[in-house]
Structure 1
Amino acid sequence: MTEDDQKQRLTQLEARIAAAKKAGSKAEKRADASHAQGELAWRMVIEMVSGLGIGFGIGYGLDSLFGTIPIFLVLFTLLGLAAGVNVMLRSAREIQAKTEAEAAKAKAERDERD
């Protein structure tokens, strides 16, 4: 092999390595995005269940304390459900605002390049 052939092969190898690195980084970004969606879903589920659990606990405690029929249990469980839904919707709005801001930023960058 001549030195020119070796240089040419080395250049081709470097180009293939660079292309493989670019393809790998795109796959990692997609995996991170799917994990972020999963984390968001779990966060919302936990917020809903914690609202229900806290409402149930307060209602049960008040019913035990006052010796009443489960009126407080039902009332505070429903209030806990409402609070959980409210927090869940707030989280969804927060994520939506963040996504819209990123989309607007990307659009502005594309417009600058054009």
Structure 2
Amino acid sequence: MSQDGELERLRALEAKIAKAKSALEPPKPPQDHHSMAQIGWRMVIELVTGLAIGAAIGYGLDVFLGTLPLFLVILTLLGFAAGVQTMLRTSREFAKQDDAASRQAGAEQGDDRRGK
């Protein structure tokens, strides 16, 4: 009988430990299998938006000033450069997030790579 009582106490203790661990762990974000596609589309939209805004402002200035191709070409190129710069900033942002997530996952698994 004493073994049955000890087993029940151990099971109750395991349940309490599991409950305490789940309360301490932060909730894991849901996995989004489309996240890479979303990042790609975001970058494409940033590039196209830079081009479109530059071209629209350039065309507007050319119509207003009567110098049709000059500002259109210059501001379209500047819009392209701004779009590329925004894309690079976004890729650095996602790289930092990915690096931080991989470091956190390594720490959770007890992986210490500092000594290697």
TM-score by length of 2: 0.67
Could you say which residue in structure 2 is the equivalent of 1:97?
96
Task: Please tell me the root mean square deviation across aligned C-alpha atoms, in Å.
Answer: 1.4
Q: Give the Cα separation in 2 of the matches to 1:94 and 1:48.
A: 16
Q: Tell me how far 1:38 sits from its aligned partner.
A: 0.7
Partner-residue secondary structure (3-state), 1:111: coil
Percent of residue pairs bearing the same amino acid type: 51
| In structure 2, distance between residues paired with 1:63 and 1:77 | 12
Match in the other structure for 1:73: 72
1:83 aligned partner: 82
Structure 1: runs of 5 or more not aligned: 1-27
Which structure's residues are more often helix, by fraction?
Answer: 1
Task: State the secondary structure of the residue aligned to 2:99.
Answer: helix
Tell me, yes or no, if structure 1 residue 56 matches structure 2 residue 62.
no
Shift of 1:69: 3.7
Output the TM-score relative to the length of structure 1.
0.68
Q: Distance in 2 between matches of 1:74 and 1:107?
A: 49
Q: Deviations over 1:17-40 (max 9, x none)?
A: xxxxxxxxxxx84xx2x3011111
In the alignment, structure 2 segments of 5+ residues that lack a partner are 1-29, 112-116
How far apart in 2 are the matches of 1:109 and 1:66?
62
Kindly provide the amino acid, as one letter, of the partner of residue 111 in structure 1: G
Following TM superposition, by how much is the alpha carbon of 1:111 offset from its aligned partner in structure 2, in angstroms? 1.4
Equivalent residues of 2:59, 2:68 under 8 A apart: no
Cα distance in 2, alignment partners of residues 108 and 42 from structure 1: 32
Q: Which residue of 2 aligns with 1:108?
A: 107
